[in-house]
Amino acid sequence: MKKILIFFFLSLISFNIIHAEITWSLSSDGTLTVSGEDMPNYDFNFGHNPNIPWYSQRDKIKKIIIENGVTCIGENAFRDCSSLISIMIPESVTSIGSYAFYNSSSFTSINIPNSVESIGKYAFLGCSSLFSITIPNSVTNIGIAAFSGCSSLNSITIPPSVICIDDGVWAGCSNLTAVTIPNSVTTIGSGAFSGCSSLSSVTISKSVRSIAGDAFDYCDNLSSIIVENDNLIYDSRDNSNAIIETKSNTLIVGCQNTIIPESVTSIGEYAFCGYSSLASITIPNSVTNIGSYAFYECTGLYSIIIPNSVTNIGYYALGACSNLSSITLLDGLKSIGDNAFESCTNLTSIIIPKSVKSIGYHAFNNCIGLTSLACEATVPPNCGYDCFSQINRSIPLYVPENSIKAYIEAKQWNTFANILPISVDPTLALTLTDKNSDLKKGYYQKGKVTLSRSNMSVGDYATFCLPFDIDISKTKDNFSKVYIPLNIGLLKPSGTLLLLLDELNDNSVIKAGQTFVAKCKKSDVVFENCADVTFNEATPNPNPSSVKIYNFDGVSGALTQNTDVKMKIGGSYSQLTNLDRNNYCTLFANGMFDATTSVTPFQMYVYMDGNNSLGSKVTSIAFEFNDISTDIKELQMTNGKSFFYDLNGRIVNDNVRNSGIYIRNGKKEIVK
């Protein structure tokens, strides 16, 4: 018994000796002075009786002076010091422990001396006011999430002594704008720069051998990615603005400006995760796999086409893309992963191709905007539990006619109350006309669509509003020129409105429901390889968009907005009849918009608010094309000089013009 008591007593003395090597004092002005040699690691104990000597006084600490001789800053030593604004670390310190300054949110800068070799995990996590930090070349190790959440930090220099950028080291540094990885670094860990939302450029050095797929997720401002040419593991081939694993041809990190090369065969996990600024992406026909979380929460995406080369879509691959309204899945796809399209709340319809064999758990969970669903597979794909959770089960489910019984009996599919046959033979082309176009309720498979327009000759201009996407590059046989109307009009004193147009290039895609004007080469136009079309009980007309009207007298160039005249541009998918002639105008053979009481299907219309001050006097609208006269008289110039005018009538310096519409010498000029 005596031996046990003696051992217990000695252990207490030893514990006190370790703590006794550090002495501290806190002055009335909030200065904490720490002296001694080896500062111990302190236990925080989840906030329950932490053994940090000054923790109870932490809110009073404004300045920390660590005197020379102290060799390390212990774990948790100065955490939660919310009033701390100044720190002095001597040259004797060789390490900064984990959580050392955790959540000390007020200090703006810190100078780490050249004696420090390691910075522990979470050491500066949550130091949200930290604006500037110098990491010396002596540091060889920076721990997990060491600077995570330092949201004021706008620049960092990673010293060439660092070999590994650990998991989450700079995560949440939302003010950080650029990063260059030094040649010493071989590894970039999971979430290393996750959530650095201001980060615009990244350069990967030739020394890097391992990059986690989610290293740069939620860096939604990232626009430039360069991998040095001598890197043996990764490349950014073909100016792709991406990090590609060379051996596997897997794109592991993309950005808002990424162009996926046709040599890429797989899009890796988290490749575009959280990039809200990603507005469009073209997936080449070489890609066979889309990894988990690849496009998760890309809220800027409105449409995406998955090519027929893709056989697998990973879990959460397109989850939470809340603005995604069009997803085209092509035949060849076999597997849709768990939660693949979860919370795509703006999605109104989707067609699952006949090649699909399995659909994962919650694959379409919370797709609350769906108004129709179609599956081309004759054998119902196997579905994971609740794969259609929170979808209105009374919406129509279109399936092959001979498979209706199988779907009624199949798990998950049998939860739909309205299972209907695919109504059109897929071998038949769909023909639309402006005389008889009341399409039956149902689903029409992709393929060839012919649009027959009456009273239309070769060389005429015509307006369109179609229920499927159109690739301009594939319409050269139909149209010589294609325009979309700008939401800006010029009102002349005569009451005539000029509606301005923007000519599209061959690489453009016109989205379903977008009104456009085309100069036709044929009276019947044919669209090949169109997207599938689904018509419900009553397909609404595309929502009209408002047009801003500016007064234009043809002389002064002083353009002011007219809020009395109200005009909207819309399109129709069905016949509109018995219209008020004072309100509706459509395009006629003479190239003018004239008043009408009827709008034919798949045609653009202009709606005039009958309450405007011009009333029934506004009965025609002339289009201003890029290749003919603008109908705007020459402006009065000073000393013969040609000035640019904006739409508010102000003279604009040619050297500093931003994107927009300008008038010079009576002609419109568009700066993109």
Q: What is the pLDDT of residue 3?
A: 34
Q: Give the integer Cα–Cα distance in Å for 361 and 385.
A: 5
Nearest-angstrom CA–CA distance, 292 and 295: 8
Other residues' Cβ atoms within 10 Å of the Cβ of residue 477: 10
Tell me if 208 sits within 8 A of 189, measured CB to CB: no
Read off the pLDDT of residues 471-524 as tens digits, 9 standing for 90 and up: 888 788 888 888 888 888 888 777 777 787 788 888 788 887 889 988 888 877
Alpha helices in 483-582, H assignment, sequence order: none
Tokens of 6: 């003696």
Give the pair of three-digit tokens for residue 116.
Answer: 């420090």
Cα angle vertex 534, ends 531, 538, to 5°? 140
With H, G, I as helix, E, B as strand and everything else as coil, classify residue 8: helix
Give the per-residue pLDDT at 12: 32
Whole-number pLDDT of residue 16: 33
Question: Given the structure tokens 């044929």, which residue do they identify?
Answer: 522
Query: Residue 334 class from Cβ within 10 Å (0-12 exposed, 13-18 middle, 19+ buried)?
Result: middle
The tokens describing 567, both together, are: 């005009």
User: In this predicted structure, what is the pLDDT of residue 104?
Assistant: 97
pLDDT at 98 over 50: yes
Q: Alpha-carbon distance 269 to 319, whole Å?
A: 13
Query: Three-class SS of residue 393?
Result: coil
> Do residues 569 and 497 touch, judged by C-beta distance below 8 A?
no
CA–CA separation, 145 and 127 (whole Å)? 12
Tens of pLDDT, residue by residue over 161-218, are: 999 999 999 999 999 998 889 999 999 999 999 999 999 999 999 999 999 999 999 9
Distance from C-alpha of 152 to C-alpha of 108, rounded to nearest angstrom = 8
Q: How far apart are CA 137 and CA 124, in angstroms?
A: 18
- Range in 34-43, 283-292, 301-310, 583-592 the model is least confident about: 583-592
SS3 at position 627: coil
Rounded to the nearest 5°, which phi and psi values hold at 617? -65, -25
DSSP string, 35-58: EESBPPPPP-GGGSS---TTGGGG
The CA distance from 29 to 86, in Å, is 12
Q: Is the pLDDT of residue 32 over 90?
A: yes
Q: d(Cα 50, Cα 485) in Å, to the nearest integer?
A: 67
Q: 436 exposed, middle or buried (CB, 10 Å; 0-12, 13-18, 19+)?
A: exposed
Confidence of residue 629 (pLDDT cuts 50, 70, 90): very low
Pairwise CA distance, residues 103 & 120, whole Å? 14
Mean pLDDT of 259-279: 96
pLDDT band at 560 (very low <50, low <70, confident <90, very high): confident
Closest CA to 156 of 127, 187, 182: 182
Per-residue pLDDT, 556? 60
pLDDT band of residue 644 (cuts 50, 70, 90) is: low
- Percentage of the chain exceeding pLDDT 90: 52
Sign of CA dihedral 215, 217, 222, 224: positive
Q: What is the pTM of this model?
A: 0.68
pLDDT at residue 433 tops 70: yes
Q: What is the pLDDT of residue 33?
A: 97
Residues in the chain: 672
Cα→Cα distances 544→69, 311, 518, 583, 643, Å: 74, 38, 19, 14, 34
Rounded to whole angstroms, how far apart are CA atoms 363 and 342? 6
